[in-house]
Amino acid sequence: MKQFTYLILALLFFACANETEKKPVSKKVESTKNKSNENYKIIGYAAGYEDYDFSKIDATKLTHINFAFANIVEGKAAFELETDAAKIATLIGLKKQNPDLKVLYSVGGWVWSDQFSTMAAFESSRKKFAQSCVDLLKKHGFDGVDLDWEYPGQRAEDNIFRPSDKDNFTLLLKTIREALDVQGKKDNTHYLLTIATGADQAYIDNTDLGEAHKHLDFINIMCYDYFNGWMHQTGHHANLHPSGKDKYDVNSGVQAVERHIKAGVPADKLVMGIPFYGRQWDQVSSAKDGLYEPANQGGIIVAYWDIVEKIKSGNYKKGYDESAKASYLWNATDSIFISWETPKEIELKANYIKQKGMGGAMFWEYSLDKDQELLNTLYNNLK
């Protein structure tokens, strides 16, 4: 009887998935409320610069893969690494595992966002870039484009920025959406357009998401790096709730989502970003457990699989901030503090996504969870 029930559920899943993909092409992207957790998105970024065999990706647990990154070269979207073409072909080939899989490419990121502001400032350059996005999509067989502009109107790694970024960002998305729709009409399909957004109020203030989302299929909120490499103080980098121990009230996933909704984005268009990595601070000055204490350097990125290996040394004491719903590690011997994501946090975030009626979850980045412990937890709780 159980086997028969599972068969019926599986048939219903694929029927729903196929029906979703048959949406007609339209000029505006409409928001559709999730009917059940079977429709939640699980979006994984795959970094082309990582030394990882993409054929090992379990596409059956993903709805979307975002290949990162394309750069902006002479005003056009372009791939720059010699290995990109082969890795992209491998990702597209994963559709043999999961025919409903959507593969997008992401433009920008922390390092390659320096050209966005100038390109977006003029109508002619926006149109040139938009057409190049379509051309690159068609060349490799992608299903859509993801923009990771870090950040409109703000200083980031080494980017140019200007006050007009706020309006130009929306105009850029509109122009890309129109170019994708023109091509989509020819191909009788709907090409996706998504963005990755910052989680803080500054990102909201420097964008017009209430208007911008109308041109987007969904938005991936980067709900991580709250305490990061710029901060010589330890803290949670991806806590779901505000921490009662954080006197500065830096950020949290719940606050990030609420900011986006207040800005005018429907909840079901929002995707919560989850890190498959932690942040590690060395040379921490602390007499207790290292949480919210000064350090002699900023928090460096450390992969989930690497954190698991570190724990085996026996030098790390596990801690949990109940108010923030966040885990951390303290190595008193070496004065090392690590903020990290565990299956416990993944389950809590999945429950919040369902409770809030959000579109699903995104994570950075696939190779950082090589044994799929975090991905399996996410999949089991959303699918």
Give 79-126 pLDDT, tens digit per residue.
Answer: 999 999 999 999 999 999 999 999 999 999 999 999 999 999 999 999
- SS3 of the chain: the string is CHHHHHHHHHHHHHHHHHHHHCCCCCCCCCCCCCCCHHHCEEEEEEECCCCCCHHHCCHHHCCEEEEEEEEEECCEEECCCCCHHHHHHHHHHHHHCCCCCEEEEEEECCCCCCCHHHHHCCHHHHHHHHHHHHHHHHHHCCCEEEEECCCCCCCCCCCCCCCCHHHHHHHHHHHHHHHHHHHHHHHCCCCEEEEEECCCHHHHHCCCHHHHHHHCCEEEECCCCCCCCCCCECCCCCCCCCCCCCCCCCCCHHHHHHHHHHCCCCHHHEEEEEECEEEEECCECCCCCCCCCEECCCCEEEEHHHHHHHHCCCCCEEEEECCCCEEEEEECCCCEEEEECCHHHHHHHHHHHHHHCCCEEEEECHHHHCCCHHHHHHHHHHC
- Answer yes or no: is pLDDT of 23 > 80: no
Q: Which amino acid appears at position 124 of this protein?
A: S
Give 150-163 pLDDT, tens digit per residue.
Answer: 999 999 988 999 99
Residue 72's CB: how many other CB atoms inside 10 A? 21
340 forms bridges with which residues in the sheet?
Answer: 327
Closest CA to 270 of 205, 355, 327: 355
- Answer yes or no: is pLDDT of 379 > 90: yes
Query: In whole angstroms, what is the distance from residue 279 CA to residue 268 CA?
Result: 29
Give 277-302 pLDDT, tens digit per residue.
Answer: 999 999 999 999 999 999 999 999 99
The mean per-residue pLDDT over the stretch 214-238 comes to: 98
Asked about 80 being catalytic, the answer comes back as no
- Answer yes or no: is pLDDT of 269 > 70: yes
Q: Which residue has the tokens 């990061």?
A: 228
Q: What pLDDT score was predicted for residue 339?
A: 98
Q: What pLDDT score was predicted for residue 158?
A: 86
- Answer yes or no: is pLDDT of 31 > 60: no
Give 56-87 pLDDT, tens digit per residue.
Answer: 999 999 999 999 999 999 999 999 999 999 99
Give 32-41 pLDDT, tens digit per residue.
Answer: 444 444 699 9
The mean per-residue pLDDT over the stretch 377-382 comes to: 98
Between helices 373-382 and 304-311, what is the axis angle to 10°?
120
| Domains in the chain with CATH codes | 36-276+341-382 (3.20.20.80)
Residue 12's CB: how many other CB atoms inside 10 A? 12
Of these residues, 21, 74, 150, 373, which one is catalytic?
Answer: 150
- Answer yes or no: is pLDDT of 2 > 90: no
Q: What does the block give as tokens for 80?
A: 């720059």
The mean per-residue pLDDT over the stretch 219-245 comes to: 98
Q: What pLDDT score was predicted for residue 383?
A: 87
The mean per-residue pLDDT over the stretch 194-203 comes to: 98
pTM, 2 dp: 0.90
Mean pLDDT of the chain: 92
42 forms bridges with which residues in the sheet?
Answer: 361
Answer yes or no: are the C-beta atoms of 196 and 147 closer than 8 Å.
Answer: yes
The mean per-residue pLDDT over the stretch 266-276 comes to: 98
